[in-house]
A = this chain, B = another copy of it.
């Protein structure tokens, strides 16, 4: 977990760094608008603590910039008391949270934790296809909200079918995709039969309709 602290008051920055280190976060400090810009370009931080008052620019600008780059996640604004105007603008512009100086360490920690968690959930890539729900991160498949335990190969197979749905997929392509070995493109594809069978069986047992049709002499097609 890597945190960027954008703050020109080096005393405060050091203080925060020290505390977050103890919390097992990895920290970097940017003392100016420009420095922040550079660091963000180089690395995707899990969380950014952003002071709006910077010697060479306003943090709100940085916020807008990040939003345009789809990097707006995980930003916590830290600013002086009573700057309610900034707070409103900041949250409108995509900041995730707001903290007024001075603040307690524990509070900061809680905010960061919350923001990072939210960000991780935002990343959970989920594919929905009729009664099927595929979680790419957790590598799980649900049918009607009921978990279907699939093996790696079965999962890969299902994913490949659904991402190429309504298209015919040759067994050669399947073999290559599953084994990652080009050699398998040419010789025997017996193992495909087995995996397809097992996948179909598991899905069917979970109450999922059969969308997979075999195209005789050609391959398979997932239709829906």
Contacts and interface: CB of A to CB of B under 8 A. Distances in A.
A26 B146 contact: yes
A181 interface: yes
A130 to B, nearest CB: 13
B145 A26 contact: yes
A200 to B, nearest CB: 14
A144 B207 CA distance: 32
B213 A26 contact: no
A102 interface: no
Interface string A189-223: 00000000000000000010000010110000100
A190 to B, nearest CB: 14
Contact of A144 (B26, B145, B179, B215): B26
Interface of A: 1-2, 26, 144-146, 179-181, 207, 213, 215-216, 221
